[in-house]
Structure 1
Amino acid sequence: MTAAQLPPVAPEVTATLVEDLSPRLRKRLDAAVAKLAAYPVHRDGDTVVIAVDDETALRLHAPGGAVATPDAIVCGCLLAPACVHRAAAACAAPAADPPAEPPADPVRQPAQAPASKEPPAPPAIPSADEVASPAQRAAAAALWSAGAAVLEAGVDGAGAVAQAALLRAAHTARLRQLPRAAAAAITVVTLLRAARAHDPSYRTADLVTALAELLTTAHRLRTVSGAELAAVRGRARRPYSPDGSLRLYGLFTEPVVTGSGHGGARTWVAGPDGRLYTVGDVAPGGVGRALGVADRAVRLGDTALTHRELGRAGLAVAGATVSPDGRLGAGKGVKAVSARGAGWWEPPLAALWEVPPAAQAARALASVSRYADPDGGGSDLLFLDVELLGAVREAGGSCLLARCEGGTAVRLAVADDDPALAHRDNLMLLATAPGMRLRIIGRLAPAHHPRLTLLACSHPTGEGIVDLGFDRLRRADLPDPGAPVHPAPPRPGDGGTSPALHLLERRVEQTVPAGRAALGLLGDTTAEAGRLRRAGLPTAAGLLTALCASAAQRERDGFGRLLPADTDGFATHWLAAARYTAAVAESLCAAAWQPAPGSDPGEPRPFTAPAAPADFTAPADPAGGR
């Protein structure tokens, strides 16, 4: 049995079942969750049945797609309903998303409600002196305590009971209208379960970011006011606002495959002013659904264009609704018809490639920041003209090395390693054609060196574009093979702060899997702090010293007995170190994109952008070119 075979369970259901267990059964809960993975599972309509043994069955009833009440999990053993099996099943299943609430106005859910004739009022902004309510502050305090307990115990010690405490705090936060904090807690639980199940897709850095986001949000809810309070509270659902009539031009289509088993496609389009929009179709189904959705009609108005066709064509939309992050709504009031597209070398799309790479990187970095406002908008895409240099070896494999404007060496990595998608095959094929010039679109990958995940490029023959996740290049499309493998280029930050920063980063990450005790046993860290100071990072040195001192600090009472550790104080020091390292890493990423001729592998030479196809002509626009 795997978690994907079980229906999602509401967080409050899991928390209730764990809280109802006796202390003796709570100690056995983690072992029961592990045993459950070996039991056979089958689905009977809306019910999932787990065969505990030949005579005992555990049933999870999910009529709406998720288990919504504790009574919906029924066990046939003699100890039911006070048995450990019900709680173990809830802990093994994925956490369900919060139920959808009725929209306050039709624009908030354009896919399900008719469009309103009157534009909705903008969301209320708290006054400058408004602060969180006492109930919200109490919910934030519960989230902080649950997150600090996870940090204290580490992944190995944060079992089902600690996860249930986080789920209870998340449920309370959602009831107190704190959706951003609740979502952060659910993310931490999901990553904890992936870590404990040895999921190959789990990364410690992801859990570090999720824990820091949870603790940051919980702390800020108790301290901020005014407009900042609204951002920290977050929104339960993505708001859509009217945007009138739009003339859109297709850019490309990318597959979307998530770790939760969802799959689909996302098509990027641009307006005449260069603003980017997306039209997506993502639902449970994984990579198989992603490959199929690309050739289905987009859900927008009456257009019959598929996602892949829209990536090369255009749309004229009336009554458009747009979310802050650029997603186009598909409500009944939205009208859309097919229109002429534009080539990448033709206005208005050509202007996207005219922005200097450093400016594009700075804009993209603001949207992919680890702690960016979810409603902040912005795009993480970069539009570059590059010259391919060949493959470059890295610790995790190889990637494609290219040179863009200003002589900056950029590493182009695979966007998705799934063999069913064409990303890796296309990238490895392009690596055999050094010297070829292409116009590309990639997603910024924050690192100490310029790095993108490659999404689309102009066709090597000059005929159209290539959606690198869906379209497969052939050897005949490229010049003669025979590419050398280049050594890794020098990184702009490698001569200063970059190597020393890892001394603090590794202590921040070390805490998450092993808990506070891992740092408490380090002993003297004077040498590491000295290296940080010599590298020009005195703040990092002070944070490292304070973090390790807080981890080792244990006071005793008058009888010499150890007192409980100061989990809040340690969480505060850890959070400060985590946020500091993230800020420095983002600064190094921005600096790496600045033109640096000395970092160019090989002899510097003038850069020439790829030319437009010789036979490129602009067809007539049936929509009138609005």
Structure 2
Amino acid sequence: MSPDLPPVVPSVTAELVGALSPRLRKRLDAAVTKLLSRPATRDGYTVRIAVDDETGVVLHAPGGAVTGTDAIRCGCLLAPDCLHRAAAASAAPVADDAPAPDPAEDTAQGPADDTAAPGGTAKTATAGPGTPTGPPGGGTEEPETATTAQQAAARTVFDAAAAVLEAGTDGAGAVLQAELLHAAHTARLAGLPRAAAAAVSVVTAVRAARTADPGYRLTGLADALAAVLVLAHRLPHATGPDLSELRGTVRRPYRPDGSLRLYGIFSEPVLTATGYAGAATWTADADGRLYTVSDVAPGGASRATGAADRTVRIGDTALTHRELSRAGLAVSGATVSPDGRLGAGAGVRAVRASGVAWRDAPLDRLWAVPAAEQVARALSGAQDLLFLEVTLTGTVRETAGDCLLADCAGVPLRLAGAHDDPALPCRDNLRLLAAAGGSRLRIVARLVPGPYPRALLLATEHPTDPGARVDLGLDRLQRADLPPGALAPPAAAFGTGDEAPLHLLRRRVHQAVPGGRRVLALAGNGPGDAARLRRLGLATAAGLLDDLHAAAADRSRDRFGRLLPADTGRFARSWLAAALYTEAVEQTLCAHAWGAATDEEAAPARP
């Protein structure tokens, strides 16, 4: 995937790849690799890739994205039935099928909508095409069910995602990616935007893995695969409100919220798995409710850093995101989405106001909530930000690199960078903060569920100036910002998280993502891991591991000894069960590590 190319909507890629002959499909991955190594030049809305000295592929994206097959042209003799057009579409980022609305659209006549966060999960849904509206006459309404088209689209998404899991990222070339994009387009047409967005996020992560993108993370792709599989699995059987949530919505509903007095907390860069980038600024009102102002569009890390210095698109304010994170905002006629995002319609008025330090009212109330209570709130599905006061104690060495070790009211906490992209200063800032051992700071972090306390560090008080703050994804610390004589201690060895028994199941779940079925079929010859899990009392995990290996090794042969097609559905369901179990157990372990009560513990005992 090349960030130099304009994004291409899924239907275009699927159509171009689907039109190739079987012979050309076999050569598609090699053609994509070749195009990614060729120079691309941009002239306005047009990008040209030089295939060789005489031939070039042109992508025309007047609206920021390629939305039709005729917008990709090639100058070779075989065009338009050549391989180059499909290769160019497969090498480009994936765009949203539906164009984003103008952020300044009018909201004075009612609640405004905005495009849902790319790849995000919508809390409020709209009905898709053909959705029943209930029986006429005022009788008792039957629970709403998915339409026939929606059920078929969900099964198509499941089968396409299962095929990607079957092959693994090593084998999921452009053809399998195009099939999943075709399934995503079908889901969107059937009124399932959430399934479509989840499928697109898988394709983007697979392309990042195959091109060695520095931002690729195996856990992110595994989570994306699990999300699209469980979504497509549940949709055909869901009813009522559960179905509405699973459908999702293309546009985010906004509701009037009157006048707001907001105080900036911090800004963070945004880099999504679907190829979007920008910045988001978090604010709070006097009651501690959180609101966000974001500027997200197709792009990479350079757009994320640049968006911080763009003007906030609310009312007539001239504040940038970086300035708003330290100032305040007075908003009248505000519109707010269910997840706290501020609308930017024509009826919204906003002016700059004074900000406050983190230790002053009203922001100080965010840090007054006990850490365990904040973790319980995050694990219940609410916003996952943590407002903590910690003492930096050193660094700890992990497989992915060193991270900060801090004490949070007696809880040993690991703090990692939110982004690993070298264009962002997250890692460099963490290295410098490691030299500020002993400093007691207020921080903002994002919870990472796991068997030990861990979070992604987003912002912190300045090491030598408590009245200042540092946005670790946008601001760059200098050695002069550290206390005098600060020296980074050696990193301690990491030895607790990966030794947890659950790791025996988790590593098999993760191994299947890059290697596919064949890796687990070979790894399932010995019963050692399952036996160890049983000895440690994790009988359910052992059973899931046995079933996963059995599904991977299940290949039947015909009467001539030839292998029959594999049952991708059974393997995908076995893998999904193991992934969901692992996630549930890790969340429980996370709650106990922080001293937070789980939902079962918090519920009153039944008589």
TM-score range relative to shorter protein: 0.7 to 0.9
Give the Å deviation of 1:558: 4.4
Amino acid at match of 1:53: D
In the alignment, which residue of structure 2 is the partner of 1:44?
43
Find the aligned partners of 1:261 and 1:523 in 2 and give their Cα distance. Answer: 36
In the alignment, which residue of structure 2 is the partner of 1:382?
386
Give the Å deviation of 1:277: 0.7
Preserved contact between residue 8 and residue 66 of structure 2 (Cα < 8 Å): yes
Give the Å deviation of 1:338: 2.7
Q: String of CA shifts for 1:443-465, please: whole Å, max 9, x gaps.
A: 22233221222222233333333
Preserved contact between residue 143 and residue 239 of structure 2 (Cα < 8 Å): yes
Find the aligned partners of 2:453 and 2:507 in 1 and give their Cα distance. Answer: 22
In the alignment, which residue of structure 2 is the partner of 1:624?
none
In the alignment, which residue of structure 2 is the partner of 1:472?
477
In the alignment, which residue of structure 2 is the partner of 1:17?
16
Find the aligned partners of 1:477 and 1:502 in 2 and give their Cα distance. Answer: 38
Q: String of CA shifts for 1:203-241, please: whole Å, max 9, x gaps.
A: 222221111111111111111111000011111122222
Find the aligned partners of 1:310 and 1:175 in 2 and give their Cα distance. Answer: 39
Q: How do residues 437-586 of structure 1 correspond to structure 2 at under 5 angstroms?
A: 437-459=440-462, 460-468=464-472, 469-470=474-475, 472-475=477-480, 478-482=483-487, 484-485=489-490, 487=492, 499-586=500-587
Give the Å deviation of 1:155: 1.9
Distance 1:65 1:110, change over 3 A: closer
Amino acid at match of 2:156: A
Q: Secondary structure at the match of 2:97?
A: coil
Find the aligned partners of 1:283 and 1:68 in 2 and give their Cα distance. Answer: 16
Q: Secondary structure at the match of 1:254?
A: strand
Amino acid at match of 1:72: A
Q: How do residues 299-310 of structure 1 correspond to structure 2 at under 5 angstroms?
A: 299-310=313-324
Q: Is 2:408 aligned against 1:404?
A: yes
Distance 1:50 1:528, change over 3 A: same
Q: String of CA shifts for 1:45-103, please: whole Å, max 9, x gaps.
A: 3322223233333222222222222222222222222222221121112222122377x
Give the Å deviation of 1:114: 3.8
Decide which moves more: 355-364 or 257-266.
Answer: 257-266
Q: String of CA shifts for 1:471-518, please: whole Å, max 9, x gaps.
A: 535536524424644635885x78xxx622111112112222222122
Q: Secondary structure at the match of 2:523?
A: coil
Preserved contact between residue 14 and residue 90 of structure 1 (Cα < 8 Å): yes
Preserved contact between residue 184 and residue 210 of structure 1 (Cα < 8 Å): yes
Q: Secondary structure at the match of 1:5?
A: coil
Find the aligned partners of 1:574 and 1:476 in 2 and give their Cα distance. Answer: 48
Amino acid at match of 1:441: V
Find the aligned partners of 2:372 and 2:95 in 1 and give their Cα distance. Answer: 40
In the alignment, which residue of structure 1 is the partner of 2:106?
113
Find the aligned partners of 2:489 and 2:284 in 1 and give their Cα distance. Answer: 37
Distance 1:471 1:54, change over 3 A: closer
Find the aligned partners of 2:491 and 2:178 in 1 and give their Cα distance. Answer: 50
Q: How do residues 324-343 of structure 1 correspond to structure 2 at under 5 angstroms?
A: 324-343=338-357
Amino acid at match of 2:105: Q
Q: Secondary structure at the match of 2:542?
A: helix
Q: Secondary structure at the match of 2:334?
A: strand
Give the Å deviation of 1:313: 2.6
In the alignment, which residue of structure 2 is the partner of 1:323?
337
Preserved contact between residue 432 and residue 482 of structure 1 (Cα < 8 Å): yes
Amino acid at match of 1:37: L
Find the aligned partners of 2:422 and 2:163 in 1 and give their Cα distance. Answer: 39
Find the aligned partners of 2:551 and 2:180 in 1 and give their Cα distance. Answer: 24
Find the aligned partners of 2:373 and 2:4 in 1 and give their Cα distance. Answer: 45
Preserved contact between residue 3 and residue 300 of structure 2 (Cα < 8 Å): no
In the alignment, which residue of structure 1 is the partner of 2:118?
none
Measured on the aligned residues, the alpha-carbon RMSD in Å equals 2.7
Q: String of CA shifts for 1:560-583, please: whole Å, max 9, x gaps.
A: 443322221111111111111111
Alignment identity in percent? 61
In the alignment, which residue of structure 2 is the partner of 1:352?
366
In the alignment, which residue of structure 2 is the partner of 1:314?
328
Amino acid at match of 1:448: P
Give the Å deviation of 1:274: 1.1
Q: String of CA shifts for 1:14-60, please: whole Å, max 9, x gaps.
A: 11111111122122222222222233332333322223233333222
Q: String of CA shifts for 1:232-254, please: whole Å, max 9, x gaps.
A: 11111222221122121221223
Find the aligned partners of 2:594 and 2:554 in 1 and give their Cα distance. Answer: 42
Find the aligned partners of 2:192 and 2:110 in 1 and give their Cα distance. Answer: 30
In the alignment, which residue of structure 2 is the partner of 1:600?
none
Find the aligned partners of 2:215 and 2:310 in 1 and give their Cα distance. Answer: 29
Amino acid at match of 1:71: D
Give the Å deviation of 1:523: 4.4
Find the aligned partners of 1:321 and 1:291 in 2 and give their Cα distance. Answer: 27
Amino acid at match of 1:54: D
Preserved contact between residue 529 and residue 544 of structure 1 (Cα < 8 Å): yes
Find the aligned partners of 1:295 and 1:569 in 2 and give their Cα distance. Answer: 50
Amino acid at match of 1:98: D
Preserved contact between residue 240 and residue 322 of structure 1 (Cα < 8 Å): yes
Q: Secondary structure at the match of 2:431?
A: helix
Distance 1:480 1:579, change over 3 A: same
Distance 1:74 1:291, change over 3 A: closer
Find the aligned partners of 1:309 and 1:199 in 2 and give their Cα distance. Answer: 31
Q: How do residues 220-299 of structure 1 correspond to structure 2 at under 5 angstroms?
A: 220-257=234-271, 263-284=277-298, 286-299=300-313
In the alignment, which residue of structure 1 is the partner of 2:182?
168
Preserved contact between residue 280 and residue 321 of structure 2 (Cα < 8 Å): yes
Find the aligned partners of 1:507 and 1:118 in 2 and give their Cα distance. Answer: 47
Preserved contact between residue 336 and residue 343 of structure 2 (Cα < 8 Å): yes
Amino acid at match of 2:20: L
Find the aligned partners of 1:285 and 1:464 in 2 and give their Cα distance. Answer: 30
Preserved contact between residue 405 and residue 412 of structure 2 (Cα < 8 Å): yes
Amino acid at match of 2:22: P
Find the aligned partners of 1:123 and 1:422 in 2 and give their Cα distance. Answer: 37
Decide which moves more: 122-131 or 207-216.
Answer: 122-131
Give the Å deviation of 1:182: 0.6
Find the aligned partners of 1:487 and 1:523 in 2 and give their Cα distance. Answer: 34
Decide which moves more: 442-451 or 133-142.
Answer: 442-451
Preserved contact between residue 128 and residue 225 of structure 1 (Cα < 8 Å): no
Amino acid at match of 1:393: R
Q: Secondary structure at the match of 1:115?
A: coil
Q: How do residues 418-433 of structure 1 correspond to structure 2 at under 5 angstroms?
A: 418=421, 421-433=424-436
Give the Å deviation of 1:273: 1.8
Larger radius of gyration: 1
In the alignment, which residue of structure 2 is the partner of 1:604?
none
Find the aligned partners of 2:492 and 2:82 in 1 and give their Cα distance. Answer: 60
Q: Secondary structure at the match of 2:505?
A: helix
Distance 1:10 1:534, change over 3 A: same
Amino acid at match of 1:168: H
Q: Secondary structure at the match of 2:436?
A: coil
Unaligned runs of 5+ in 1: 103-108, 368-377, 596-626
State how many pairs are aligned.
573
Distance 1:149 1:309, change over 3 A: closer
Distance 1:503 1:331, change over 3 A: same
Preserved contact between residue 125 and residue 248 of structure 2 (Cα < 8 Å): no
Decide which moves more: 418-427 or 221-230.
Answer: 418-427
Q: Secondary structure at the match of 2:145?
A: coil
Decide which moves more: 20-29 or 474-483.
Answer: 474-483
Unaligned runs of 5+ in 2: 114-123, 128-132, 134-140, 597-607
Find the aligned partners of 1:422 and 1:164 in 2 and give their Cα distance. Answer: 35
